[in-house]
Amino acid sequence: MNPELIHTAKQFAFAEKPEAIESCKYGHINDTYAVYCLGAKGTPPRYILQRINHHVFRRPDALMENIARVTTFLRDKISGRGGDPDRETLNLISTKTGQLYHTTPDGDYWRAYAYIPRAQTYQIVRGQDHVYQAARAFGRFQHLLADFPLMRLHDTIPDFHHTPKRLSAFRQVVAADPQNRAPTAAAEIEFVETRAGEVSRLIDLLEQGDLPLRVTHNDTKVDNVLIDDESGEGICVIDLDTVMPGLSLYDFGDFVRSGTNPAAEDERDLAKVKMHLAYFEAIVRGYLGETRDALTALEKDLLTFSAWLITFEIGMRFLTDYLNGDRYFRIHRPEHNLDRCRTQFKLVADMEGKFDQMQRIVERYR
Ligand code: GN1
Ligand code: MG
């Protein structure tokens, strides 16, 4: 086993000695490992070890401060409600010197969490109940953090969901076309341009003071919720790197993006990719069940639009990265980012055809 990884693991105040470390292949940004202890074989991991991608997250110190504050706050809330804070929130493990993260001589940043056993995440939607439970978990997350002081959070990636700025970045890359890839993505580039007029709607409303800033997760993919093996409930929201002030609509929209697609985010057979209306309904029911009283009428009006916008935004980010030479999202094959873009745009187009039906569902549950 990799001695450097073991050495890194040893920097943390683990109660047990690391015996084996295994890479977890998911996630496009950080590197994640499961740490096994106590003879390892057949036992669940005890810890999660993660290298923070500091090219994406430029201030790991600020990011870790956010996570520490949010998880400490959640622990108190969950205990206060009679929940289990060891299962319902992530829990950081500090280093042996009491730091939130460990810095290596090469300038890498590492952190550790306690592993939550008897629960999993699923990359691909398993059915209506799965998305209902995961949507509830994100709704509850927002609800639990409703009185967390916004001022206590750093922007870990400024303008993360600022769609107009994402559009400008996209246009710059198209104009420069550094890899000469634009001709291979002509249809997708055109797809963006024909929709460019819609991208500033949420940001404009935020700037006019019509939509409230809240503590949001900002990366509410369906696989960022741990599902309890026994109860099937969404017990814990994970991947807290982008928890920062944002719009509730970013979280709802991003969840619909991943949670209504019965296929993989990088599925090449686009016939399998669609916005599944029954999943959408399950998500609306789950999410509004937790947030109905807190959301404003305008937020509810814009739920369907946000699903469209955030799916469009992330498709555009994949396309930008493809054109730019795959510098941001980790890829596992050539054109991986273009494939990802295509699934997102297929979803966008499908939502356009189903917009009225989606709105009627929202009306029913709001
Ligand atoms: C990235 O690393 P991962 O898979 O949790 C990205 C999200 C995208 C997502 C698309 C910090 O998240 O914004 O929606 O990929 N995270 C960052 O799958 O850019
Ligand atoms: Mg993430």
Task: Tell whether ligand 1 has an atom less than 6 A from the beta carbon of residue 340.
Answer: no
Compute the distance from residue 242 Cα to the ligand 2 centre, in Å. Answer: 7
CA 264 to chain centre: 15
pLDDT score, position 25: 84
Percent of the chain past pLDDT 70, that is, above it, reads: 99
> Ligand 1: which atom is nearest the Cα of residue 257?
14
Residue having the nearest C-alpha atom to atom 17 of ligand 1:
29
pLDDT score, position 43: 85
Residue having the nearest C-alpha atom to atom 5 of ligand 1:
27
Compute the distance from residue 224 Cα to the ligand 2 centre, in Å. Answer: 8
Q: Residue 135 above 70 pLDDT?
A: yes
Residue having the nearest C-alpha atom to atom 1 of ligand 1:
28
3-state SS, residue 347: helix
pLDDT score, position 53: 97
Task: Tell whether ligand 1 has an atom less than 6 A from the beta carbon of residue 321.
Answer: no
Per-residue model confidence as pLDDT tens digits over 211-242: 999 999 999 999 999 999 999 999 999 999 99
Task: Tell whether ligand 1 has an atom less than 6 A from the beta carbon of residue 264.
Answer: no
Domains and CATH numbers, the chain: 3-117 (3.30.200.20), 128-365 (3.90.1200.10)
Q: Mean pLDDT throughout 170-198?
A: 98
Lowest-pLDDT range of 16-30, 180-194, 288-302: 16-30
Q: Residue 363 above 90 pLDDT?
A: yes
> Ligand 1: which atom is nearest the Cα of residue 29?
2
Task: Tell whether ligand 1 has an atom less than 6 A from the beta carbon of residue 53.
Answer: no
Task: Tell whether ligand 1 has an atom less than 6 A from the beta carbon of residue 314.
Answer: yes
Q: How far apart are the first and last CA of the chain?
A: 52
Ligand nearest to the CA of 157: 1
Ligand nearest to the CA of 57: 1
Q: Residue 82 above 70 pLDDT?
A: yes
Task: Tell whether ligand 1 has an atom less than 6 A from the beta carbon of residue 56.
Answer: yes
pLDDT score, position 38: 79
**3 state SS for the chain:** CCHHHHHHHCCECCCCCEEEEEEECCCCCCEEEEEEECCCCCCCCCEEEEEECCCCCCCHHHHHHHHHHHHHHHHHHHHHCCCCHHHHCCCEECECCCCCCEECCCCCEEEEEECCCCEECCCCCCCHHHHHHHHHHHHHHHHHCCCCCHHHCCCCCCCCCCHHHHHHHHHHHHHHCCCCCHHHHHHHHHHHHCCHHHCCHHHHHHHCCCCCCEEECCCCCHHHEEEECCCCCEEEECCCCCCEEECHHHHHHHHHHHHCCCCCCCCCCHHHCCCCHHHHHHHHHHHHHHHCCCCCHHHHHCHHHHHHHHHHHHHHHHHHHHHCCCCCCCCCCCCHHHHHHHHHHHHHHHHHHHHHHHHHHHHHHC
> Ligand 1: which atom is nearest the Cα of residue 314?
14
Compute the distance from residue 241 Cα to the ligand 1 centre, in Å. Answer: 10
Ligand nearest to the CA of 330: 1
Q: Residue 276 above 70 pLDDT?
A: yes
Which of 244, 319, 329, 340 maximizes ligand 1 atoms within 8 Å of its Cβ, making it the mutation to test the pocket? 329
pLDDT score, position 366: 97
Compute the distance from residue 64 Cα to the ligand 2 centre, in Å. Answer: 14
Per-residue model confidence as pLDDT tens digits over 90-122: 999 999 999 999 999 999 999 999 999 999 999
- The vertex-238 CA angle with 296 and 245, nearest 5°, equals 40
What average pLDDT is seen over the chain? 97
Q: Mean pLDDT throughout 132-149?
A: 97
Q: Residue 40 above 90 pLDDT?
A: no
Per-residue model confidence as pLDDT tens digits over 292-342: 999 999 999 999 999 999 999 999 999 999 999 999 999 999 999 999 999
Compute the distance from residue 39 Cα to the ligand 1 centre, in Å. Answer: 34
Compute the distance from residue 27 Cα to the ligand 2 centre, in Å. Answer: 6
